[in-house]
Amino acid sequence: MRFITLLIITLGVATAQADSIPDYPYPVDEYRFDSQRQTLSMAYMDVKPEREPEGVVVLMHGKNFNGAYWGQTIDFLKDQGYRVVVPDQIGFGRSSMPKRYQFTFDQLAANTRGLLEHLDIEQVSVLGHSMGGMLATRFALQYPDKTEHLLMLNPIGLEDWRGMGVPYVDIDSLYESELQRSFEGIKSYQKSAYYDGEWKERYEPWARLLAHHYEGEDGERFAWNMALTSDMVLSQPVVYEFDQLQVPTTLLIGVRDRTAIGRDQVDDEVAQRMGDYTTLGKKTAERIREATLVEFDDVGHMPHIEAPERYLEALGKELR
């Protein structure tokens, strides 16, 4: 009887946690293509307004996320008359998680361009959050003729962490670390880095979404892809190329953000200098030829989750 009771309690907890994992806000389609001697599937949402589109906005997710967390942004842009394309990059969300893949920002940008060609889309504005900001920058550098406007929402990569002293960690070691990820560990990291020590209930679904990937039947495959993309982020900085951007650029920065990969691998003096978004946004805007900086006081790494009203108001103004 005690075993049955425990089983029921355990199943109840599992069901409650599953119910707290956000679903995609719109139908998800599939784009199949050949890349690096294999056929891959890129999941994406393609949301169209009721009237003739004002333009197309591509949303690029961060490393610890997928397209599901863009729901409010999609709704807002759709209401403003924009067509919105939201891919899960290879290795993330519902897209393929390959056993082998050379992850580069160039390759992910090329994959995204292929999706846009598949959809017969010529010109886009690109909005990238966190790692997606690095990818959006690469896309704009690689395809300036297709990019009308580059927008970065608390992008990582505004500084070169390896150049600041973060040591090289081999991919096998990164993989072993990824295998240790849990909901509590993810929550602790996000509370410290994303929200500057403040945690609210509405943040929890996005931490559970990430934990769900590690805990699922493809958890080891997902962990391997996350190790490969961590190496990509650390070894392929875009910070040295901001002055080469040829398109109008907007930086949307929550200045309470403290995200910096590798902070735990350097001494305290260096760690305190890393991820200082109170200065990073300003320094980056100075380096870009045609840049606008929008700062959100008392907001961290996730303005679209933490302060959606202020973020959406600013986004609407910048896209006009």
Distance CA 238, CA 128 (A): 14
Count, residues in the chain: 320
Q: Can you read off the two tokens belonging to residue 273?
A: 């200098």
Distance CA 186, CA 203 (A): 11
Nearest Cα neighbor of 181 from 216, 154, 129 is 216
Distance CA 242, CA 294 (A): 17
Per the CB < 8 A criterion, the answer to whether 162 and 237 are in contact is yes
Domains of the chain: 2-319 (3.40.50.1820)
The residues facing 29 across adjacent strands are 44
- Backbone φ, ψ for residue 261 (5° rounding): -75, 130
Q: Which residue has the tokens 């704009």?
A: 140
Distance CA 235, CA 310 (A): 34
Helix (H) / strand (E) element for 75: namely helix 71-79
Instruction: Write out the chain's pLDDT in tens, 320 residues.
Output: 333 333 333 334 343 444 568 999 999 999 999 999 999 999 999 999 999 999 999 999 999 999 999 999 999 999 999 999 999 999 999 999 999 999 999 999 999 999 999 999 999 999 999 999 999 999 999 999 999 999 999 999 999 999 999 999 999 999 999 999 999 999 999 999 999 899 999 999 999 999 999 999 999 999 999 999 999 999 999 999 999 999 999 999 999 999 999 999 999 999 999 999 999 999 999 999 999 999 999 999 999 999 999 999 999 999 98
Q: Kindly state the DSSP code that residue 29 receives in the 8-state scheme.
A: E
